[in-house]
A = this chain, B = another copy of it.
Amino acid sequence: MALSYSSEQEQIRGEARRFLEAAFNAEKQRRLLHARGGFDTDFWQACVNMGWTGAGVPEAFGGLGLGPLDVCILAEECGRFAVAAPFLAANYAAAIAINDHGSDAQRAALLPAIASGDARFALALFEDEDGLPQEPATRFRAGLINGRKCAVVGAAAATHALALTDSGVALVDLAKHVERHIGDTIDNSRCSGDLAFSNASGELLQGGAQALRLLAVQALVTAFEQIGGAEAAMARAQRYANTREAFGQLIGKFQAIKHRIAEMYVRNELARGNALLAATGLAEGAPDFIARSGAARLAATDAFEFAAAQSMQTHGAIGVTWEHDLHLYLRRARAQALELGSPLFWEDVVVDMLSGSAM
């Protein structure tokens, strides 16, 4: 196992953070909240320019061939600045699935397109229920797909989808025969909405590409985004507690405040431990990868929602205004808690794995 970062990885992190710090624009992010299916094309172009879109794509297909931990570092830094990066996790999950289960033609066509930023994938798995559908209503017949997928992250701006159908996971070009139903969501920068397929053409991935595994990879990368967000929310609480005074002293001197921030730290570190374990599990092909990813998702969801809400509480009234940045994190935390399946669903995933397999 390698649960600690190499110095190369620390460098990747440093560069990403410097870029994001300079690019961070809360005003723009608030504007995105008002745009249904809002997509930050400038940021996407920057990701292309920096090679981030190719980070998880094998070198043979024009990518950088980095491992999961490297991709996760980028995700964590993106989460820290709450940027609109709805394709980071899905593209990585898609690249792995296509590389492992795609045909030669699919690999040759799509992996370079992911690396170059021309392809943006959405994972279209859920229908109108909390968990993954056991019997998907979306049908695959003779290369044509019909049905509706709900609350797909990136739906508004994706070029391709991996869709769960009654016959397995299908690769779909979203250029035609697809209606995108994009409504307002708690965090419009997630670009989410429903995808309704009417005779959309698709190809099944071979070799048993599992929807749950796809989702687990997306959840792993998302967990790092969540951890980044949780740490940013905690850092803001620390800063505020160390500067704001009330009743003649720094508010950080009140145990209600300082213990709350310490509790954020406890949750954040538990989340990081689990997320590192899951990333290592993916890299090493660990048989319990899905349980690890589930634990990472639960811990990261808990950490992010706690840190965002409690950091807001630490700030008092100023924190609950539209003009303050904290609600970018609060909204993102709830959106990310729901969009890949609620905590209830993931608790069930973890227990199914534990009670089915040796621990």
Contact = CB atoms under 8 A, between A and B. Distances in A.
Interface of A: 254-256, 259
Contacts of A256: 255-256, 259
A224 B330 CA distance: 41
A84 to B, nearest CB: 38
Identical chains in the assembly: 2
A256 B259 CA distance: 8
Contacts of A255: 254-256, 259
A252 to B, nearest CB: 12
A255 B256 CA distance: 6
- Tell which of A254, A255, A259 has the most Cβ of chain B within 10 Å: A255
6 contacts: A254-B255, A255-B255, A255-B256, A255-B259, A256-B256, A256-B259
Contacts of A254: 255
A254 B258 CA distance: 12
A256 B256 CA distance: 6
Contacts of A259: 255-256
A150 B256 CA distance: 44
Nearest to A257: B255
A313 to B, nearest CB: 13
A255 B246 CA distance: 15
A332 to B, nearest CB: 29
A255 B259 CA distance: 10
- Interface pairs A-B: 6 shortest CB-CB: A255-B255, A255-B256, A254-B255, A256-B259, A256-B256, A255-B259
A255 B254 CA distance: 7
A254 B255 CA distance: 7
A38 B156 CA distance: 71
A237 to B, nearest CB: 16
Nearest to A256: B255
Nearest to A259: B256
A303 B256 CA distance: 21
A264 B255 CA distance: 18
A254 B259 CA distance: 11
A262 to B, nearest CB: 11
